[in-house]
Amino acid sequence: MIIELRQDILVANQKMVSVVKERLAQEKVLMLNIIGSPGSGKTSLLEATLAGLSERFRVAIIEADVETKRDSERLERFGVPLYHINTGGMCHLESDIILASLEKMDLAATDVVIIENVGNLICPADFDIGEHAKIAVSSVPEGDDKPSKYPVLFREAAAVVLNKTDLVPYTNFNVESFTTDLRRINGTVPLFELSATGGNGVQAWLDWLIQKVEASQA
Ligand SMILES: Nc1nc2c(ncn2[C@@H]2O[C@H](COP(=O)(O)OP(=O)(O)OP(=O)(O)O)[C@@H](O)[C@H]2O)c(=O)[nH]1
Ligand SMILES: [Mg+2]
Q: In what order do the strands lie in the sheet with 159-163?
A: 82-86, 59-65, 112-116, 30-36, 133-139, 159-163, 191-193
- Give the HSE-up count for residue 151: Cα atoms under 13 Å, Cβ half-sphere: 9
pLDDT higher than 90, residue 7: no
pLDDT per residue over 127-159, tens digit each? Answer: 999 999 999 999 999 999 999 999 999 999 999
Question: Is 64 within 8 Å of 95 (Cβ atoms)?
Answer: no
Ligand 1 closest atom vs CA 194: 31
Q: Where are the domains of the chain?
A: 5-217
For residue 44, the ligand 1 atom closest to its alpha carbon is: 15
Torsion (CA) 162, 35, 76, 99 in degrees, nearest 10: 150
- Counting from 1 in the atom list of ligand 1, the atom nearest the Cα of 167 is 1
Torsion of Cα atoms, 62 then 67 then 71 then 72, to 10°? 50
User: Per residue in 77-93, pLDDT tens?
Assistant: 999 999 999 998 899 99
Amino acid type, 159: A
Query: Ligand 1 pocket: which residues have CB below 6 Å?
Result: 36, 38-44, 71, 119, 163-164, 166-167, 195-198
Query: Among 43, 71, 120, which is best to mutate for testing ligand 1, by the most ligand atoms less than 8 A from CB?
Result: 43
| DSSP secondary structure string for all residues of 160-194 | EEEE-GGGGGGS---HHHHHHHHHHH-SS--EEE-
Please say if the pLDDT value at position 3 is more than 80.
no
Query: Which strand (E) or helix (H) includes residue 155?
Result: helix 151-156
Q: Is residue 4's pLDDT more than 70?
A: no
Residues in the chain: 218
Percent of the chain residues topping a pLDDT of 70: 97
* Domain 5-217: CATH superfamily, name plus number: P-loop containing nucleotide triphosphate hydrolases (3.40.50.300)
Distance, CA of 84 to CA of 137 (rounded, Å):
20
How far is the centre of ligand 2, averaged over its atoms, from the C-alpha of 64 (Å)? 8
**Mutate which of 197, 200, 202, 205 for ligand 1 pocket (most atoms within 8 A of beta carbon):** 197
- The pLDDT of residue 5 is 63
- pTM comes to 0.95
> Higher pLDDT residue, 126 or 176?
176
Rounded distance from Cα 56 to ligand 1 centre (Å)? 25
Q: Which ligand is nearest to the CA of 118?
A: 1
Tell me the C-alpha distance between 205 and 53, whole Å: 11
List Cβ neighbours of 183 (8 Å cut-off, separation of 6 or more).
none
